[in-house]
Amino acid sequence: MLQLKIVSPERILFTGKVKSVVVPGSLGEFEILENHAPIISSLEKGTVACKLSGTDESRLEILGGFVEVQKNEVRLCVEL
């Protein structure tokens, strides 16, 4: 499982464990799974999709931002 934290300049939007996260990267959409290599990337306007438990999925529309992945921790700083 991944530990995910999504923040905006106004507030914390989500914090918790997820199976995977799909983000709209600057060079295209990509998925972050457990044991993903460390990365920092800018994000474009699009949808962040998080797989929770089972088939549950949460989606969030963003205008842009950044993602950082390190040691199964994913941190997103986004603009809504």
pTM of the entire predicted model: 0.93
Domain boundaries, the chain: 2-79
Residues 6 or more apart whose Cβ sits within 8 Å of residue 66: 40, 41, 42, 43, 76, 77
| pLDDT tens digits along 7-18 | 999 999 999 999
Strands 28-32 and 2-7: unpaired
- pLDDT at position 53 is 77
| pLDDT tens digits along 30-78 | 999 999 999 999 999 999 999 987 788 999 999 999 999 999 999 999 9
Query: The domain at 2-79 falls in which architecture?
Result: Sandwich (2.60)
